[in-house]
Chains A and B, each alone.
Chain A
């Protein structure tokens, strides 16, 4: 796979395809008198939007799609992101006119179908988490985190307790500490022990009456289930503190182990990971949050409630932390996730089982070619290290990642978690057939051999993509963040 790929050619910017006076869409002319705006309010200079007719606009979008790699294109084992297949029926039902053209200010009586869907979704999510109450409102996982932390604040304020610290693991996603800071909490970091569990001794010394709670991903970003989770929960609950479950890795445990049963009090889900909302090149997502009864009064308003056969949005929640985004959440994401759950039914457990099987299979096949920092069965993902390749051949995790592109595979997550040097974090997901896993194994083994035999091939990779490796320092040092048009000398064309 050393030969360069197809000739990609250049992709002009949409502004470079633009010709003054060319038109795409037109707006109906109703023959009404043209009103005037008062002076000072009307636009002095027309915005320089692209001017394209539809044929070139469609070609432009198509050209950009062609230069983008998705799960539909090929294997995409991006760790902690759960890049599973996105069923097309979900797209179909997500855009039914009864949803698509439903205004969010529509009175409850006019939105019964939408509210019923949300209410049922809440119930399924509650069952999966093992916690009774759910808000669908948060827009994504990181907003779920911030919502969860605000719930902790409200819970302790209501009890008259002053607690100012949140504990996170050294393996935590960067969103955890960022959310802690945004919620106005101090951060305490706990180490990981030699088996990849939270270090209980370190933990005991860091939890006291100032501790509001723990944020933890379980299985962790190492792809390992925390074997001491019951004791971890005991330590926090004994101190009167709460446990927050970062649901980024929930795809490992649906129907197998429930966060509520593990002792977590607040859980967020990533609907775009576990429940197949397409990732969309970076969003949209959905980040519902489930909580224990004691925290339910503080959930963001509104929540969907059922009264007899009718459903309504309940805005009257005096202890609520308030609203965290517009309306009742990203509804289109709910439709897709609901469709996914209804397709599987109770076999959602099998979804997670196969995710774990696939990951362990790839791990078993790659454990000799790369370093394995934690030698255990993994859950839905695992972390390898390119430490030996670096020491012996000067080949880094980044080189491995870039070379994988030449094999038609999206690289795994690299350099995360931070506790593993030269980390390669691999999550195959359950929807991949064995042949694709084998392709990946073959590619990774070949790359390990290439590292010894022809390291320059890796250093210069990728060879078959539209661009070679980028000058990222230049991008940050001399930021060009928008098209500057011909009249602006700052434009680098």
Chain B
């Protein structure tokens, strides 16, 4: 199967118009020594029907949330994605357009991005948002790059309770940015403000996560204050789906708010594509990475939208750009806009409250001791009497994935299991988790 449209007659006519006798003549510009002279060794072509069958067979080999009751979270959460998101995703105008370089052709997607930016600012309490970053890890690296260029400091401080993958990505790129990375250990599941403040003494930025990777609520306002008083930009890594109940980072003194947008509008999809969000105070606007949409007027004085502040960007500034990003995650960001608009303020609060209620129910019902005392919103770390990975193995045999074994990332935490709930898990689901846990641990 192919998606080509030319007939043999078309080809002959076109070659004649070009003034060549064969297709090969067009490729004479390729030096003979680098021409590929055999057939590609790739699997054979399939019809659409065969393709659907072959790929469905692969999909069927996976233990997804439809066949396994899952309490996995640890950065990616199985929240409900409303059907209206499908309306967006099925519209070819959005799906098959590219970056809106020509605003007259792209008012719809530009306006949608403007609305997305507005929603992100409103949820985070920030002044400005970009049109999205790749995911919750890369926006953290972006934030470090901004922090370095808005201070004369070359160190960033990461709370150890910040998602391990986020920390790994920051470390990968810090080398190129010329940044040293320092990590501050947790104390009983959360970060100590004094310890964080001391580490921030000569840092450009401090990044902490709320709720943190262990599901614990950090003393966020104290952490932000400790960073700020050391002269470092406080940056909160937050979860949009908790911001109906949790305070906005802008309200507790953060300079930037970033995070993984997946929980709002994107299925887990084995890790992506999702979207990262990046919001900041007004003072950072000219150092923001990525696309930003602004409002303006057209020649007739009508309100209109356009990519703006482009002098920050690579296609204008080249090596002096604030980032190299071009393609971002627009379609997923718009899924976020639609999901959050469908929920509205009341729905988003209910999501947070329902998750908190379910988490509390799990805390009460599960035959395990919480590893930490700090309050949670949708995820709780529990101590396991045998290694958590073994608990996972035994439970999966029973069709239940009990959560994330923290020993995968943290030394000395082999006996800690991170259990996540969303509004999609019911009290009955938690009862089953409790029952099966009792049995495998008996």
Residues of B within 8 A of A146 (CB): 173, 176, 324
Residues of A within 8 A of B94 (CB): 64-65, 68, 70, 280-281
If A46-B345, A89-B51 touch, whether A282 touches B327 (CB-CB below 8 Å) is: yes
Interface-located stretch among B36-44, B226-234, B433-441: B36-44
B291-332 vs A: 1/0 string, CB under 8 Å?
111111111101110101111011111111101111111111
B91: shortest Cβ distance to chain A, in Å? Answer: 4
CB < 8 Å neighbour of B360 from A26, A32, A87: A32
Residues of B within 8 A of A23 (CB): 344, 346-347
A379: shortest Cβ distance to chain B, in Å? Answer: 8
A-B contact pairs, 21 of them (CB 8 A): A23-B347, A32-B358, A37-B245, A37-B356, A101-B66, A107-B396, A110-B401, A127-B42, A177-B318, A182-B324, A184-B177, A258-B36, A279-B96, A284-B275, A322-B168, A323-B172, A326-B260, A342-B43, A357-B23, A360-B20, A405-B105
Kindly report which residue of chain B lies nearest to residue A261, judged by CB atoms. B34
Residues of B within 8 A of A445 (CB): none
> A99 to B2, Cβ gap below 8 A?
no
Seed contacts A49-B123, A111-B270, A281-B94; 15 additional CB < 8 Å A-B pairs: A27-B350, A49-B340, A61-B88, A72-B96, A89-B52, A106-B63, A142-B327, A177-B321, A182-B323, A282-B98, A326-B169, A330-B272, A346-B42, A350-B4, A363-B18
Kindly report which residue of chain A lies nearest to residue B168, judged by CB atoms. A323
> A57 to B272, Cβ gap below 8 A?
no
Count residues on chain A whose CB falls below 8 Å from chain B CBs. 210
Q: How large is the interface on B (under 10, 10 to 19, 20 to 34, 35 or more residues)?
A: 35 or more
Whether a CB of chain A sits under 8 angstroms from the CB of B366 is: no
B111: shortest Cβ distance to chain A, in Å? Answer: 6
> A345 to B108, Cβ gap below 8 A?
no
Whether a CB of chain A sits under 8 angstroms from the CB of B13 is: yes
Could you tell me the distance between the alpha carbons of A49 and B343 in the complex, rounded to whole angstroms?
8
Whether a CB of chain B sits under 8 angstroms from the CB of A433 is: yes
B101-145 vs A: 1/0 string, CB under 8 Å?
111111111011111011101110001110110111110000001
> A416 to B315, Cβ gap below 8 A?
yes
If A281-B330, A481-B293 touch, whether A92 touches B345 (CB-CB below 8 Å) is: no
Whether a CB of chain B sits under 8 angstroms from the CB of A446 is: no
> A474 to B176, Cβ gap below 8 A?
no
Nearest first, the 5 A-B pairs at minimum CB distance are A327-B271, A98-B59, A72-B92, A280-B331, A345-B45
CB < 8 Å neighbour of A43 from B20, B243, B292, B343: B243
Interface-located stretch among A200-208, A236-244, A388-396, A460-468: A460-468
> A181 to B60, Cβ gap below 8 A?
no
B24-51 vs A: 1/0 string, CB under 8 Å?
0111111101111001111111101001
If A117-B55, A326-B271, A479-B309 touch, whether A44 touches B247 (CB-CB below 8 Å) is: yes
Highest count of chain B CB atoms <10 Å: which of A25, A124, A175? A25
B:365-396 near A, CB below 8 Å? 375, 392-393, 396
Could you tell me the distance between the alpha carbons of A127 and B35 in the complex, rounded to whole angstroms?
14
Kindly report which residue of chain A lies nearest to residue B41, judged by CB atoms. A127
> A41 to B247, Cβ gap below 8 A?
yes
B383: shortest Cβ distance to chain A, in Å? Answer: 20
B142: shortest Cβ distance to chain A, in Å? Answer: 10
> B29 to A38, Cβ gap below 8 A?
no
> A348 to B93, Cβ gap below 8 A?
no
Could you tell me the distance between the alpha carbons of A23 and B359 in the complex, rounded to whole angstroms?
26
Could you tell me the distance between the alpha carbons of A87 and B47 in the complex, rounded to whole angstroms?
12
> A343 to B45, Cβ gap below 8 A?
yes
Residues of B within 8 A of A102 (CB): 62-65, 268-270
Kindly report which residue of chain A lies nearest to residue B137, judged by CB atoms. A326
> A175 to B326, Cβ gap below 8 A?
yes
Kindly report which residue of chain A lies nearest to residue B103, judged by CB atoms. A470
CB < 8 Å neighbour of B295 from A46, A256, A466, A480: A480
Residues of A within 8 A of B75 (CB): 105, 326
Kindly report which residue of chain A lies nearest to residue B217, judged by CB atoms. A41
Kindly report which residue of chain A lies nearest to residue B375, judged by CB atoms. A38
Residues of B within 8 A of A431 (CB): 3-5
B216-236 vs A: 1/0 string, CB under 8 Å?
010011000000000000000
CB < 8 Å neighbour of A68 from B29, B93, B299: B93
Whether a CB of chain A sits under 8 angstroms from the CB of B416 is: no
> A32 to B427, Cβ gap below 8 A?
yes
> A343 to B3, Cβ gap below 8 A?
yes
> B271 to A354, Cβ gap below 8 A?
no
Could you tell me the distance between the alpha carbons of A344 and B298 in the complex, rounded to whole angstroms?
44
Interface-located stretch among B76-84, B191-199, B200-208: B76-84
Could you tell me the distance between the alpha carbons of A181 and B321 in the complex, rounded to whole angstroms?
9
> A110 to B68, Cβ gap below 8 A?
yes
CB < 8 Å neighbour of A139 from B134, B173, B297: B134
Residues of B within 8 A of A103 (CB): 64-65, 70, 72, 76, 78, 268, 270, 401
Residues of A within 8 A of B246 (CB): 37, 41-43
If A327-B271, A470-B306 touch, whether A13 touches B51 (CB-CB below 8 Å) is: no
> A104 to B341, Cβ gap below 8 A?
no
Residues of B within 8 A of A140 (CB): 134, 325-328
Whether a CB of chain A sits under 8 angstroms from the CB of B334 is: yes
Residues of A within 8 A of B34 (CB): 229-230, 257-258, 261-263
> B115 to A411, Cβ gap below 8 A?
no
Whether a CB of chain A sits under 8 angstroms from the CB of B349 is: yes
Whether a CB of chain A sits under 8 angstroms from the CB of B151 is: no
Residues of A within 8 A of B55 (CB): 93, 96, 117, 335, 338-339, 342
Could you tell me the distance between the alpha carbons of A431 and B344 in the complex, rounded to whole angstroms?
41
> B267 to A100, Cβ gap below 8 A?
yes
Could you tell me the distance between the alpha carbons of A481 and B100 in the complex, rounded to whole angstroms?
16
Could you tell me the distance between the alpha carbons of A261 and B14 in the complex, rounded to whole angstroms?
30
Whether a CB of chain B sits under 8 angstroms from the CB of A376 is: yes
Highest count of chain A CB atoms <10 Å: which of B100, B275, B321? B321
Residues of A within 8 A of B72 (CB): 103, 105-106
> A229 to B31, Cβ gap below 8 A?
yes
Residues of A within 8 A of B74 (CB): 105
Highest count of chain B CB atoms <10 Å: which of A145, A146, A493? A146
Could you tell me the distance between the alpha carbons of A460 and B275 in the complex, rounded to whole angstroms?
38
Residues of B within 8 A of A45 (CB): 251
> A101 to B25, Cβ gap below 8 A?
no
> B108 to A11, Cβ gap below 8 A?
yes
> B318 to A178, Cβ gap below 8 A?
yes
Whether a CB of chain A sits under 8 angstroms from the CB of B426 is: yes
Residues of A within 8 A of B60 (CB): 98, 113
A308: shortest Cβ distance to chain B, in Å? Answer: 15
Whether a CB of chain B sits under 8 angstroms from the CB of A306 is: no
A323: shortest Cβ distance to chain B, in Å? Answer: 4
> A49 to B18, Cβ gap below 8 A?
no
Residues of B within 8 A of A420 (CB): none
